[in-house]
Amino acid sequence: MGAKCCQESRQAGVPTEVPAEVKDLPAIDLSGIRDPYAKFEASLPFSRTLLPLLFKQVEDAEKKCGEEGYVTLAALAEELKTAAWKDL
């Protein structure tokens, strides 16, 4: 399934490189979500970020930290500069 999914993503135009200008996905309408945990999860910036871009940005942040297997919040904040991540 993973290989099939990746191939479908490539064909659908899902970016695999971080573009010069990264934009957030549209905010989720929370008014129709009743479960408080689901509402909280949907309010997080992860739901407004394409995962392939997020993975690349985390990798870039790790490189800035010396590729030691960790990422600092400061390095992440340098990579995640969209409105959804402003509170980071």
Mean pLDDT (the chain, rounded): 86
- For the beta carbon of residue 32, count every other beta carbon within 10 angstroms: 8
Q: Out of 5-9, 23-27, 84-88, pick the least confident.
A: 5-9
pLDDT of residue 8 exceeding 60, the answer is no
Environment class of 24 (CB within 10 Å of its CB; exposed 0-12, middle 13-18, buried 19+)? middle
pLDDT at residue 32, as a whole number:
95
Q: 2 Cβ partners below 8 Å, 6+ apart?
A: none
Contacts of 13 (CB under 8 A, 6+ apart): none
80 versus 21: the higher-pLDDT residue is: 80
If pLDDT is split at 50, 70 and 90, which confidence band does 7 have? Answer: low
pLDDT of 27-65, one tens digit each?
999 999 999 999 999 999 999 999 999 999 999 999 999
88 CB-near residues (< 8 Å, 6+ apart): 45, 73, 76, 77, 80
pTM above the 0.85 mark? no
